[in-house]
Amino acid sequence: MTTPSVLFVCVHNAGRSQMAAGFLSHLAGDAIEVRSAGSAPAETVNAAAVEAMAEVGIDISDQTPKILTPDAVDTSDVVITMGCGDACPVFPGVSYRDWALDDPAGKGVDAVRPIRDEIKARVEALIAELVPASA
């Protein structure tokens, strides 16, 4: 069985998609290939997102926002968008999901924590779907 790949996309690739990628890497290990990108990447990852993730033991401080490319979408099994709207190219055979999440941009860590916790719950459900428990 091949390793499924998941691409998280948000506009700036600085908050939501970075937190989601951090959780997926941390919780799924090598079972799922993890990618993230943005349609208009920011210069740096959101400091409040970095702090919120550090509180749960996940370091995303070394990540950098990346530009969304058609190839990244085409070579992913699941593409999860977080408010990028029509900026994401659509390819046949790719599963698309949209997670409606508040944008943490410009918010302090207190406002980012509930977004982080919602992302964690969704990532856990995604792992359960993509990586069936060993019987």
Phi/psi of residue 79, nearest 5 degrees: -115, 120
The catalytic position among 52, 82, 84, 101 is: 84
- Can 103 be counted among the known catalytic residues? no
- Can 48 be counted among the known catalytic residues? no
Token pair for 11 = 């506009």
Nearest in space to 89 (alpha carbons), one of 73, 65, 67, 66: 73
The catalytic position among 6, 88, 112, 123 is: 88
The catalytic position among 6, 9, 10, 19 is: 10
No. of helices (H) and no. of strands (E), the chain: 4, 4
CB 104 within 8 A of CB 16: yes
- Can 133 be counted among the known catalytic residues? no
Residues 6+ apart with CB under 8 A from 68: 9, 13, 37, 38, 39, 41, 84, 87, 88
Q: Which residues are catalytic?
A: 10, 84, 88
